[in-house]
Chain A
Amino acid sequence: MTPPAVLASCLWRLLDNPILAKDLRAGFRRRRFYVAHTACVSVVGLAIALAAFIVAEGARESLTPDQVGGVLFWTFAIAQYFVVLLVFPAFACTSISEERVGQSYDLLITTDLRPWEIVVGKFLVALLHSSTFLLATVPLVCIAFLYGGVSPWAIAGAYAALGFVSVAVTVYGIYISAIARSTALAVILAYASVLVLAVASAALVAFCVEEWRDVRRELVEPILAMDLAWKLRGLGVAGWLVGSLFAYFFLLALNRLKPAGANTSTNVRVFFLVFSAVTILGGLGALVWYWPSTPPHGMAADWIARVGITVSAATLLVTSLLCLSGVMAFSTEFEPTSLRVLRARGRWAGPLLPLRVLYPGGASGSVLSLGWSLVLLSTVAWGLVQGLGLREVGVFMGARGWTAIPLSVAAVWTLLLLFSQTAVFMVRLTGSRVVARLLVVALVLLLFFVPLFGFVLGERSGGIAQGYFLCPPLVVADIWALQDVFDPRWHVGAPSLSAMEEAVSAEKLRLGDAWVPALEYRLRVEMAATGAPLAQAGPAAWGVLGLVLAAARLALEAARRLAAPVLAS
């Protein structure tokens, strides 16, 4: 067969997955789906109406309509980011455990379907299923387009970022659903992990935004200034790391579905061998290859090293945290299967014992990697403090806005981490489903309201752009797509509008000729004339329309249910 034919047949086999048809049918017919869908659209509608109002209010004096459009678009994109965080784990983390709980797992697993087909099928179903929620809120996002100022690149960037987060959350959810024995545990674990990751990355981005100009000068601008070849190289390395993380969870899920008897976890071991070899050898090779030459575009060598170590340490931290949460919830699940098989057959497992420490997802291995990543991170953090002079900022000075303080975010993160771990342990201890449900509700509320609260407070005290760091991937997309939205006025971090005025004047002084007074004047006049009323009425109306539509749907559903017995009799 020719390569295209092979590719086509592989693709066909992927899409001709029986699980796809069965689960999509069953899922879309369920009442749960309609209720969740309606609720989601209502909540997002409400949030968007609220956000639009706040933005318009704040924009009255300082923004042109196209700037309002840009800011609204990113605000709505953040709302969609929350849809992804809230909805995607729900479908993914129950997809395989549901089969177990519903006792259909044995029938499924004894068919001729290979474990990889089951995992891929479940993955595609969860992704498609959840994407309908995202799709349903797209019309609400389109409000932003009424104002203009949203470039195609911004749209592409935002949806690439959302797509990435969706796939990541779904892959991780599928892994959880493959190892979980009970739905409650799967749900708690998935939301707790997503919460921790979201808060952690928000904290990281908040940290960067707080010191945005420094980071930008030192780090972002050299990257932006790189030529295409270097950008592609960077993208390749990032793709390799992220792709490996996805593959790792995919393989772990697959490993759980394999017939237990002769399973020696070969694919996971081969994966780790290949991954370590390529990463270590590749890293060494790059070091040797590039060491004598000057770093690209004036980026200092120690900076490259710092960034490299930080990225790898952070990846390790994330991975080990995820694994450790898995170990804590399912302690009996993680002994290396090969060890177990050998022992069951009465053979000596000596040569495989080191595997216990290095085993992906194993308890001792997780603790080891967690400790190591912490050591790495604290070393690097010290380096960063030295390098950037961060002693001057944020944490160490007066507070400005709630979420803008990395220390507060770190505290919240630690609290939530403690909360989620305690939750898992308590459920294991009590085995109570009521406790589990309460905890899930509490977690979901926290997941939604903590950032929302911070978002609103951030807006009150520092300007809307501070809200970006609630959605870290969007910030990354933003660097590439919407650089002009980063007007210097957003970054002065002024506590009030009048203070912002002062700060703007200060910026004017600092920038001198770069600031065009005529332009500023024109903006003000335009805003006063058209921007504010439009900015308030338009989005608010759309948000209300969304709510009305949702309410109408609920009413229709209720009427249909009320009418059903009457019609039937």
Chain B
Amino acid sequence: MIEVEGLSKRYEGLTAVRDLSFRVEAGDCFGFIGPNGAGKTTTIRILATLLEPTSGQVRVDGHDVLERPEEVRRVMGFMPDYYGVYPGVRVWEYLDFFAASFRVGRSRRRAVVDDVMALTDLAGLADRDVATLSKGMKQRLCLAKTLVNDPRVLILDEPAAGLDPRARIEIRTLIKELRAMGKTILISSHILTELSDICNRVGIIERGELRATGGVEEIRDRVRPRRTVVFRFVRGAPQAEALLRTHPQVDGVSSAGEECLRLTFDGAPEDLHRLIKVVVDAGLPLVGLEPEKYDLEDIFMDVTRGDLA
């Protein structure tokens, strides 16, 4: 659905994006992750036909963004990171304007606007002046605006920036719903925990270069083939530590608080079973087992430190 090949963008004296290549297949939700100034917005604006690439090819739904920008705009719903609304215009008028601008016929427009307002939970605000909306409402309004033309591809630049936790979860739920509706989504963020449960694929970008792409699991395995687990005992942690340290599959044991041990071992689940068996056979009272939290945030930290390079 989205194909980027060898994309570079140079501003005067600065290469914001260098030789970027990735693909987003139909139905995917692609998380575009990177620290501030990594080049996410630059890439997204090129995808949205708002910026010319210096070199490289970008196609959205098979249309080249340089050669056929009109076609790209038609299939795409775009939400920029910063945008303004029109003061003095009501919520439904705002959506009606964009529906009309996407050539939704006069007869269908009412229903389309009502639909997107219901989907984004704006129905109660239909008559509010858009300039008086809060940040969270505005984000939902902009998302509603990107949906009026029933786009196949959604390109969202940090849709959750500046929102409180509740609003963030709402936006996340909304995006999940959109994905369930079969839309292809590219979403950028540097708040990574946010993306881990809505995206099936991620690309990590730093200083204009793509550091890693793939499924969340895939990247995790590549970055950290080992697993870490915390064992919790009623008592006898020191004995357990002595016991486990000698075990061939265990790479490291350390204390993780009172009567708790942190174990690092080769990744397979059977190995974990074997270790538990060793402890239980020795009669030590094991009461808890927690896999160490390891998510996109850690991947991100590892990757952007340059571990993968």
Chain A residues within 8 Å of B, Cβ to Cβ:
18-19, 21-22, 25-27, 29-30, 102-104, 106-114, 259-262, 344
- Across-interface contacts of B83 in A (CB, < 8 A): 103-104, 106-107
A25 contact from B67, B84, B89, Cβ within 8 A: B89
**Interface residue B278 (Cβ < 8 Å from any Cβ of A):** no
Q: How far is the CB of B175 from chain A (nearest CB, A)?
A: 19
Contacts A21-B93, A112-B101, A262-B66 known; list 6 others, CB within 8 Å.
A30-B88, A102-B84, A107-B145, A110-B48, A114-B70, A261-B52
**Interface residue B294 (Cβ < 8 Å from any Cβ of A):** no
- Across-interface contacts of A261 in B (CB, < 8 A): 49, 52, 65-67, 69
- Across-interface contacts of A262 in B (CB, < 8 A): 66-67, 69
Q: How far is the CB of B177 from chain A (nearest CB, A)?
A: 22
**Interface residue B149 (Cβ < 8 Å from any Cβ of A):** yes
Chain B residues within 8 Å of A, Cβ to Cβ:
48-50, 52, 54, 65-67, 69-70, 73-74, 76, 78, 80, 82-89, 93-94, 97-98, 100-103, 142, 145, 149
A277 to B138, CA, bound (A): 52
- Most B CB contacts (10 A, CB to CB) among A108, A259, A262 go to A259
- Most A CB contacts (10 A, CB to CB) among B80, B94, B97 go to B97
A25 to B96, CA, bound (A): 13
- Across-interface contacts of B94 in A (CB, < 8 A): 22
The closest CB in chain B to the CB of A26 belongs to B88
* Pair B85/A104 contact, Cβ less than 8 Å: yes
* Pair B69/A112 contact, Cβ less than 8 Å: no
- Across-interface contacts of B67 in A (CB, < 8 A): 261-262
With A103-B82, A261-B69 known as contacts, the answer to whether A344 contacts B100 (CB < 8 A) is: no
* Pair A104/B84 contact, Cβ less than 8 Å: yes
- Across-interface contacts of A18 in B (CB, < 8 A): 97, 100-101
* Pair A111/B102 contact, Cβ less than 8 Å: yes
- Across-interface contacts of A110 in B (CB, < 8 A): 48-50, 73, 76, 78
* Pair A344/B74 contact, Cβ less than 8 Å: no
* Pair B102/A102 contact, Cβ less than 8 Å: no
A126 to B157, CA, bound (A): 33
A103 to B83, CA, bound (A): 5
- Across-interface contacts of A344 in B (CB, < 8 A): 52, 54
Pairs A–B under 8 Å by Cβ, sample size 28: A18-B100, A21-B97, A22-B93, A25-B89, A25-B93, A26-B87, A26-B88, A103-B83, A104-B84, A104-B85, A106-B50, A106-B80, A107-B142, A109-B50, A110-B50, A110-B73, A110-B76, A111-B101, A111-B102, A112-B73, A112-B101, A112-B149, A114-B70, A259-B49, A259-B70, A260-B52, A261-B65, A262-B69
- Across-interface contacts of A109 in B (CB, < 8 A): 50
A-B pairs with lowest CB-CB distance, top 8: A18-B100, A111-B101, A102-B84, A261-B66, A26-B88, A103-B84, A259-B69, A29-B88
* Pair A22/B86 contact, Cβ less than 8 Å: yes
A113 to B98, CA, bound (A): 10
A477 to B84, CA, bound (A): 45
B73 contact from A19, A22, A111, A260, Cβ within 8 A: A111
- Across-interface contacts of B84 in A (CB, < 8 A): 102-104
- Across-interface contacts of A25 in B (CB, < 8 A): 88-89, 93
Q: How far is the CB of B243 from chain A (nearest CB, A)?
A: 62
- Most B CB contacts (10 A, CB to CB) among A19, A103, A107, A108 go to A107
Q: How far is the CB of A564 from chain B (nearest CB, A)?
A: 15
Q: How far is the CB of A152 from chain B (nearest CB, A)?
A: 40
A26 to B66, CA, bound (A): 34
A22 contact from B50, B66, B97, B102, Cβ within 8 A: B97
A111 contact from B65, B86, B98, Cβ within 8 A: B98
* Pair B78/A22 contact, Cβ less than 8 Å: no
- Across-interface contacts of B69 in A (CB, < 8 A): 259, 261-262
Q: How far is the CB of A13 from chain B (nearest CB, A)?
A: 11
- Across-interface contacts of A19 in B (CB, < 8 A): 97, 101
- Across-interface contacts of B89 in A (CB, < 8 A): 22, 25-26
- Across-interface contacts of B88 in A (CB, < 8 A): 25-27, 29-30
The closest CB in chain A to the CB of B58 belongs to A261
Q: How far is the CB of B13 from chain A (nearest CB, A)?
A: 15
- Across-interface contacts of A111 in B (CB, < 8 A): 73, 98, 101-102
Q: How far is the CB of A124 from chain B (nearest CB, A)?
A: 15
The closest CB in chain A to the CB of B78 belongs to A110
- Across-interface contacts of B101 in A (CB, < 8 A): 18-19, 108, 111-113
* Pair A102/B98 contact, Cβ less than 8 Å: no
A25 to B94, CA, bound (A): 11
The closest CB in chain A to the CB of B101 belongs to A111
- Across-interface contacts of B82 in A (CB, < 8 A): 103
Q: How far is the CB of A180 from chain B (nearest CB, A)?
A: 17
The closest CB in chain B to the CB of A101 belongs to B84
A111 to B98, CA, bound (A): 7
The closest CB in chain A to the CB of B109 belongs to A18
A102 to B49, CA, bound (A): 19
A18 to B66, CA, bound (A): 26
- Across-interface contacts of B65 in A (CB, < 8 A): 261
* Pair A112/B86 contact, Cβ less than 8 Å: no
A104 contact from B74, B78, B86, B103, Cβ within 8 A: B86
- Across-interface contacts of B54 in A (CB, < 8 A): 344
Q: How far is the CB of B3 from chain A (nearest CB, A)?
A: 16
- Across-interface contacts of A108 in B (CB, < 8 A): 101
A119 to B117, CA, bound (A): 29
Q: How far is the CB of B136 from chain A (nearest CB, A)?
A: 18
Q: How far is the CB of A473 from chain B (nearest CB, A)?
A: 34
A163 to B211, CA, bound (A): 61
Q: How far is the CB of B104 from chain A (nearest CB, A)?
A: 9
A344 to B236, CA, bound (A): 71
A301 to B255, CA, bound (A): 108
The closest CB in chain A to the CB of B100 belongs to A18
- Across-interface contacts of A259 in B (CB, < 8 A): 49, 69-70
- Across-interface contacts of A26 in B (CB, < 8 A): 86-89
A116 to B300, CA, bound (A): 45
A462 to B233, CA, bound (A): 110
The closest CB in chain B to the CB of A102 belongs to B84
Q: How far is the CB of B93 from chain A (nearest CB, A)?
A: 6
- Across-interface contacts of A114 in B (CB, < 8 A): 70
A261 to B97, CA, bound (A): 26
With A110-B50, A110-B76 known as contacts, the answer to whether A30 contacts B102 (CB < 8 A) is: no
A103 to B81, CA, bound (A): 10
B102 contact from A103, A106, A112, Cβ within 8 A: A112
A261 to B59, CA, bound (A): 13
A420 to B65, CA, bound (A): 41
- Across-interface contacts of B52 in A (CB, < 8 A): 260-261, 344
Q: How far is the CB of A73 from chain B (nearest CB, A)?
A: 37
The closest CB in chain B to the CB of A258 belongs to B69
A100 to B145, CA, bound (A): 18
A483 to B70, CA, bound (A): 55
Q: How far is the CB of A97 from chain B (nearest CB, A)?
A: 13
* Pair B78/A30 contact, Cβ less than 8 Å: no
Q: How far is the CB of A455 from chain B (nearest CB, A)?
A: 38
A30 contact from B50, B76, B87, B100, Cβ within 8 A: B87
Q: How far is the CB of B162 from chain A (nearest CB, A)?
A: 15
* Pair A112/B103 contact, Cβ less than 8 Å: yes
A21 to B88, CA, bound (A): 12
Q: How far is the CB of A9 from chain B (nearest CB, A)?
A: 14
The closest CB in chain A to the CB of B106 belongs to A16
* Pair B86/A102 contact, Cβ less than 8 Å: yes
A29 to B88, CA, bound (A): 6
- Most A CB contacts (10 A, CB to CB) among B66, B86, B103, B145 go to B86
The closest CB in chain A to the CB of B45 belongs to A106
A113 to B50, CA, bound (A): 15
A112 to B74, CA, bound (A): 6
Q: How far is the CB of B82 from chain A (nearest CB, A)?
A: 6
